[in-house]
Amino acid sequence: MTQEDFGMRVSVLASSSSGNATYIETPEHKVLVDAGLSGKKLAALMASIGRDLNDVDSLFITHEHTDHVAGMGVLARRYKQLTVYANKGTFAHLPKSVGKIPYDQLALFDMGTTLSLGDLDVESFGVSHDAAEPQFYQFHHDDRAFTILTDTGYVSDRLAGTIRDSDAYVMEANHDVEMLREGPYPWGLKQRILSDYGHLSNADGADALMSVIGPRTKRVYLGHRSAHNNTKPLAHTTVAELLKREGLGVDHDFALLDTEREKAEGLFTV
């Protein structure tokens, strides 16, 4: 079997409030979305799925929060073959800790546009989040689509229409509203997370899934889980129950899967 037979393959390397990275490959490309962990951790996560950062050609950044960019400077300086894509607002607001990135490795990727890279098309879309110009991405290869949507306080009908009926999703299930309200965070931070510019709760994530899951959808990963205001079983059962109540075929029509803070999910073919 040649590599071409595998189509587009994906591994969620890490997903949580403390560090995010997803790996995507096609016959022609090996790319990452976000680098929110140290270079060392990212290298180890890649090794755990039998892949090497030396082979990654593109890094797509969603926004400037540390849990998405912590390792981006190190990666760009260490891996000269890497092109780092982000929009102007994100590049302009990177934390100082990212350090200098060689100018010739930077590429602008405007919100709401599609980038064609040979056998991989990447579509950016804006989200509602307290960052400069946050955008997430949908990846297209052949007739398959994979969408990542986390770090948003709200999913508009328009956005749901843009990303409807992907073959696979990473969807945010950040917090349980009760746990957040009763938990240790200061009032201002709680308000921020709960706002339309914060994060999707488990129930919000389920709502968003109801409006995007279609007949093609085979896999849904729940992502960007808070360590303080959520648990894996709570996120999973809350979303599963709400989707089942809507008559969606959880575990029949599509698999509902979890993600981990620092443990890669096995590669799957989209």
Q: Does 65 bind Zn ion (CB under 5 A)?
A: yes
By the rule CB under 5 A, 151 interacts with Zn ion: yes
- Of 65 and 175, CB closest to Zn ion: 65
To Zn ion, the closest distance from the beta carbon of 112 in angstroms equals 19
Candidates 66-74, 117-125, 183-191, 257-265: pick the segment binding Zn ion (CB under 5 A).
66-74
Residue 72 buriedness (CB in 10 A; 0-12 / 13-18 / 19+): buried
Which two three-digit tokens encode residue 108? 């602008």
Select from 51-59, 67-75, 167-175, 208-216 the region that touches Zn ion (CB under 5 A).
Answer: 67-75
Instruction: Quote the DSSP letter at residue 51.
Output: -
CB 110, min distance to Zn ion, A: 19
In this chain, which residue has its C-beta nearest to Zn ion?
65
Question: Coil, strand or helix: which one is 14?
Answer: strand
Q: Is 67 in the site for Zn ion (CB under 5 A)?
A: yes
DSSP states of 183-212 = SSS-HHHHHHHHSTTS--BHHHHHHHHHHH
Q: Which is nearer to Zn ion, 17 or 138 (CB)?
A: 17
Q: Using CB under 5 A, which of the segments 111-119, 146-154, 158-166, 238-246 binds Zn ion?
A: 146-154
Q: Which stretch binds Zn ion (CB under 5 A): 39-47, 58-66, 207-215, 253-261?
A: 58-66
First to last CA, the chain: 17
Asked whether the beta carbons of 256 and 243 are under 8 A apart, the reply is: yes
- Name the burial class of residue 111, with classes exposed (0-12), middle (13-18) and buried (19+) by CB atoms within 10 angstroms of its CB: middle
What residue ranges bind Zn ion (CB under 5 A)?
65, 67, 151
